[in-house]
Amino acid sequence: MRTQLTFAPLAKIESELLAVLAVDTQTDKAVDAKPQPVLLTADPAIQAAAATVLASGEFKAGANETALLHAPAGLAARRLLLVGLGKQVKANANSVRSAAGTAVRFIKPRGIRELALSLPVHELIPPAAGARAAVEGAFIGDFDPDTYRSERKDQSVESFTLAAPANSGKAALETAFAEAIIIGESQNFARVLVNEPGNKLTPTLLGRRAALMASEVGLGWEVHSTEKLRELKMGAFLSVAQGSAEPPALIVLRYEPKGVTSSPVLGLVGKGITFDSGGISIKPSDKMEEMKTDMAGGAAVLGVMRAIALLKPKVRVIAVVCATENMPSGTAQKPGDVQTAMPFSPDKPGKSIEIINTDAEGRLVLADSLTYARQLGATHLIDAATLTGSCVVALGRINAGAFSNDEVAWAKFDAALAVSGEKFWRMPLGEEYAELIKSDIGDIKNSGGRYGGACTAAEFLKVFVEDTPWIHLDIAGLAWSDELKPYIAKGPSGVAVRSILEWVRSY
């Protein structure tokens, strides 16, 4: 998608469609109080063109509500689209992100390939934040998952122009605009990976895609397989991989900015199960096809690394993605087996793990990956994984789960959410949860039972980070959407890319 930032008057912008945002300024809470839509632009030509529809009550400026006007008088654009942000008091940059995505989703099936969007003028939405959100939203809205349709009709938007007021601070807007393109493209990069079927994205092929991306953007990279895992004594990771005919892939990416040699070193770890059948503890057949998405955490980490390489923050970053399939076979591990995880140092034995449920495999591959990231020098850790159904039961598909053992690291992540607009809810850790994963035969077991499953899974991972500041993101509920929304297609969401990126940049 071609992108452009312009400071030209809205009325003079030639485009197939010009989108202008609006809010509902009604503050009366009475049941019969009528919405009062107000456009977020001072341009008199836009105000005049939309006056009739605003006065009619047809358009209420509800969140992501639209109204289309053809051949608006006084405008060079051929169509004018009004997009609502909802109540004025709740309008923020994330509202703009959704509205921009809504505008893109609105025009795609109508054969419109050019879109100009007016940057909203609103006291609660700083211009730079609004510009970044608008561009990100446009890229997110432009993605569709129908990659393999034999008669696919590409409806991608060819041109997106962000129109800003002349007095809104050119330098800051240009920076925000350029950054947003990188972030939007990187989130879509992750979504493309998550969307791939298991036969089209095996662990080996995921490693190749990661290496290609790393080479293109200037990251250091290594991709290893079974032999290296054995050398590193990654017994937990290997135990999951042993049931599949496909070899595993240990993907390592490095970002080393010039002139930065000191701490911190941030370690990003992603679960990369390219297909999860559950293993011997096999899943129900219903919705099993969606288990191609069990590598969404790994995809998010790869998307973040792409953005980091292009945005060039002054902090060192290591990424580890553990990719394998979890399959039932004659070589698959069994409930009751005991595996030994990777030791952190040669003089310290690895933890022994009793396998209670082979479908609790994500924590096994993450255990060795977190240990390896620490061994490579990571001083702070964050992991992303579609880890537990329990987290979805607890939080629904509205918030993703987050856990942390460090208040400073968490404060930075919490602040990052205000920028990313993503919804994460912090959940508890504690000795009571740790007790539930103690094993009678080994050190720990990979399932603490039905209750508090997201918390016991996080406690399992905490064993392998020890005292390293760490955040765990359980994104199982938000990695894939079964619902078509006004601003984003059904399918992979790319959740956690923006939030992890902002966490990294905070250092």
What amino acid positions are annotated as catalytic residues?
283, 363
Contacts from 431-439 at CB under 8 Å and sequence distance 24+?
433/458, 433/459, 434/459, 434/462, 439/352, 439/353, 439/354
Q: How far is CA 221 from the centre of its chain?
A: 22
Strand order of the sheet with strand 444-445?
A: 338-340, 352-354, 444-445
3-state SS, one letter per residue, for 283-308: CCCCCHHHHHHHHHHHHHHHHHHHHH
What letter does residue 139 receive in the DSSP assignment?
Answer: H
User: Cα–Cα distance between 204 and 187 in angstroms, integer?
Assistant: 22
Contacts from 328-331 at CB under 8 Å and sequence distance 24+?
328/243, 328/277, 328/278, 328/279, 328/280, 328/282, 329/243, 329/244, 329/245, 331/242, 331/243
8 Å CB contact between 403 and 458? yes
User: Cα–Cα distance between 355 and 446 in angstroms, integer?
Assistant: 6
Tokens 């601070």, located at residue: 169
Q: Which amino acid is at 448?
A: G
The burial class, CB within 10 Å (0-12 / 13-18 / 19+), for 93 is buried
* C-alpha atoms less than 13 angstroms from C-alpha of 36 in its C-beta half-sphere: 9
Residue 387: both structure tokens together: 């880890």
User: Cα–Cα distance between 96 and 87 in angstroms, integer?
Assistant: 13
8 Å CB contact between 6 and 164? yes
Strands (E), 405-451: 424-426, 444-445
What's the sign of the alpha-carbon dihedral 90, 185, 146, 270?
negative
